[in-house]
Every structure is written in C-alpha cells, then in structure tokens.
Amino acid sequence: MRICLFPGTFDPVTLGHVDIVERSLGLFDKMYIGIGSNANKQPMFSDEERLNWIQEIFKDEPKVEGLVYEGLTVDCCKRVNANFILRGIRYVSDFEYEKVIADMNRSLDNNIETVFLTCAPQFTSVASTLVRDVIRNHGNASSFLPEVVRRTIYGK
C-alpha cells in the first residue's frame, strides 16, 4: 500500500495546499496531512482549527486524514506506516530548500521517499506566510483560501 504524509504547518490551509492534495490523490492509497509543530514558528491558528479545516475540506475523500504531530517527520511517517513524503514546490528556490530536507530525511530512514509536486501556476504566489501577513494587516485573503477557512477567518 502506498501511504503518504504531506507535512506542513498549514497556517492557514490555502487553495495551493488543496490543489497539491487533490492532484496527488491518484499517486497514493492513503494520505495523511500532518500538521507539524515547529518550535521556531508561532502559528496564527491553533492546531485544532487547522485540523478541523483539513477534516472539513476533505470530509468526502476517504483517502485523506489529518493529524497533528511533534518531532521528526520521519518518526510521524513510521507511526502511520507512510513510505512517502509529499512536498509542494512553487519555485526553484523551494526545491533547493526541500531537497536538503529530503536528503536529511533519507539519511534518517532510507525507506521513505520524498515526492515533489509542482504547484499549478495560479497558486505560485500563494504561500501561507504571505496569506498570514495579509490577514494580520486586515487585508482580504479570501481568494487564496478554501471556503471553510474563509468562513472561520472572515465570518462570511
């Protein structure tokens, strides 16, 4: 069985994240969207909010399940029997950064492969960091967000 972990902070979940998940469903039998706790990042949204968003967005997709984890991504992979890590790539610079992480993960467990999926062109500029900045400064980031996330943030 091809089991995948798609790790990230998902703070917030964006249409770019949803696009990567939807386009990769044919590659895997099961996908866990892992909300990783990063000691270096203070999230804008709680783990519970982000997990609820993922559960709501993918409620009709039995292959997808959300979870929250701390620690090494490869340890989370072992916990859910994932032999693949999925990562989305927007720019060449993303690839350089992600390759270093993939190499480290491979050195920690050579049974786990990282699969890179390039984002669709319309989502190239959609980064959670930028979306958070728009929200924090009272701008309207609705066009970058799935409906359930939009409703939570803007109450519409």
Q: Which of 30, 90, 132, 150 is catalytic?
A: 90
Q: Which of 17, 24, 50, 87 is catalytic?
A: 17
d(CA 29, CA 118): 20
Catalytically annotated residue among 2, 41, 59, 136: 41
Residue 129: count of CB within 10 angstroms of its CB? 9
CA distance 30 to 130: 30
Say how far apart CA 83 and CA 61 lie, in whole Å.
Answer: 20
Catalytic residue among 24, 50, 87, 128: 128
Counted residue by residue, the chain has a size of: 156
What the block records as the tokens of 141 is 């980031």
Distance CA 43, CA 57 (A): 20
**Is position 59 annotated as part of the catalytic site?**
no
154 backbone dihedrals φ, ψ, rounded to 5°:
-105, -5
128 catalytic? Reply is yes
**99 given a catalytic annotation:** no
156 is catalytic: no
Catalytic residue numbers, as ranges = 17, 41, 90, 128
